Structure 1
Amino acid sequence: MNAHRLNHHDIQAVKSFEARAKRKARARRLADRLVLAACLLGAVLLLGLVKGSPQ
């Protein structure tokens, strides 16, 4: 037998590892988008307060 041949359990382990990596990457992208949206909203609110304040 070939010692380097992958068996079913090895293949499943690699697939689950890749799936976990994809989920983590997607979660990071979502978190980045939420932070960006919060920053933009904060900037808009800050500009609105500065513009609306009497000089």
Structure 2
Amino acid sequence: MTAHRLNHHDIQAIEAFNARARKKAKANRRADRITLVGSALALVALVALGLMGGLSQ
């Protein structure tokens, strides 16, 4: 049995697939970072509001 040899089109398809996967992973990391920063800011805002409310009473 002979092994399948990759031709030029197979290599291009694999490279395109890998490029899409890298782009998607980069977008996911960016979205995760934005979510993390937004959550941290919301938590800080809630704590600040809680402290201000506690001080005013």
| TM over 0.5, shorter chain | yes
Normalised by the size of structure 2, how large is the TM-score?
0.88
Higher helix proportion, which one? Answer: 2
Normalised by the size of structure 1, how large is the TM-score?
0.91
Alignment of structure 1 residues 11-22 onto 2, 5 Å: 11-22=11-22
Structure 2, unmatched stretches of 5+, are: none
Q: Show the counterpart of 2:32.
A: 32
After TM superposition, give the deviation of residue 3 of structure 1 in Å.
5.8
CA distance in 2, matches of 1:38, 1:3: 52
Q: Show the counterpart of 1:52.
A: 52
The CA RMSD over aligned residues, in Å, is 1.2
Which runs of structure 1 show a deviation greater than 6 angstroms over 4 or more consecutive aligned residues?
none
After TM superposition, give the deviation of residue 27 of structure 1 in Å.
0.5
Cα deviation, 1:11-36, whole Å, max 9, x if unaligned, reads 00000000000000011000000000
Q: Show the counterpart of 1:7.
A: 7
Q: Percent identity?
A: 52
Structure 1, unmatched stretches of 5+, are: none
One-letter amino acid of the counterpart of residue 26, structure 1: K
